[in-house]
Amino acid sequence: MSIAKSIEVSESSGITFLDIDNSLATARISLFGGHILSFIPKSDNKERLWLSPHAVLNGDKPIRGGIPVCWPWFSDDHGREKGALPSHGFLRSQVWQLKASEDNAAGTTIYLAPSFTRADGFEYDCQVTLKVTVGQSLQVELITQNTGLVAFSFNTALHTYFQVDDINHVELTGISGDYKDKTDNWAVKQTPAHYTVTGETDRIHMTAAAQVAINERSVAVTRVDSQGHDSLVVWNPWQGAASIADMDAFGYKHMLCVETACTGDIQVAPGGQHILTQTVVPL
């Protein structure tokens, strides 16, 4: 297999990295977890993804930051007791393979596949592909194909950590409707008209917003475009970051998760497929 000229392959502490550098942007992908770690468009040279300075980058545990792939369940929604199975599924803690890559007019397109898709908690025949296009925007497509004889259901998310200069100066626009508030025993609440983050935030927005903007005062805006989702998750641990081992106590000031998600059951018939897409658009 030939590798696109814009991609440099390196290895560190047992993890293989793909470093992409084309005329439009740079990016870094870890094959451990099929995990995008960085996206810097050359239009403004501003890093769009947040990676914890304490992220474990040796394959011992999932990476904190970037774009983790949650599949085939979100959080602990696997039907068993909490902790019985890995949170957010088993794709983000295995080694993925580079299946194909190419340089094209859109930038650089990469196809990755996990080592396996059948494990405890999900025992169906399927194929998962992560298609990543690094260009003026960063487009991520998580493709789940049913290759078996019976239908199955799953849920999933692209758990993106966005880098912000100061969380106190961030406003989200484009989200409306009700959300479930995990910090308040899953109470259903109305999305605020003026959406800022002023404390611990863990919300499942049940309206599948197609476009959301992360607006920072006097700083570049990032738009999040989503397709194939049924909800949008907004998360910031606030001062709870101090209790997260691989996160700096003040890291919450510089990150905000806006996650394109399927938190309800997605049904895939034999021969069918589901595509979850998130596009990070610099403005």
User: 205, 216, 229, 259: which one is catalytic?
Assistant: 259
Confirm whether 274 is a catalytic residue.
no
With 0-12 / 13-18 / 19 or more C-beta atoms within 10 angstroms meaning exposed / middle / buried, residue 11 is exposed
CB 22 within 8 A of CB 135: yes
Q: What is the CA radius of gyration of the chain?
A: 18
Q: Which two tokens stand for residue 148?
A: 């078996």
Residue 238, classed as helix, strand or coil, is helix
User: 35, 159, 205, 229: which one is catalytic?
Assistant: 159
Question: How far is 92 from 117, CA to CA, in rounded Å?
Answer: 11
Cβ-Cβ contacts under 8 Å for 161 (sequence gap 6 or more)? 49, 50, 51, 64, 65, 66, 67, 255, 256, 257
What DSSP letter does each residue of 7-29 carry, written as one string?
Answer: EEEEEETTEEEEEEE-SSEEEEE
- What's the Cα-to-Cα distance from 205 to each of 15, 98, 134, 142, 262, rounded to whole Å? 34, 33, 28, 20, 11
CB 244 within 8 A of CB 153: no
Confirm whether 8 is a catalytic residue.
no
Q: Which residue in 81, 77, 55, 79 sits closest to 66, CA to CA? A: 55
**Which residues are identified as catalytic?**
159, 259
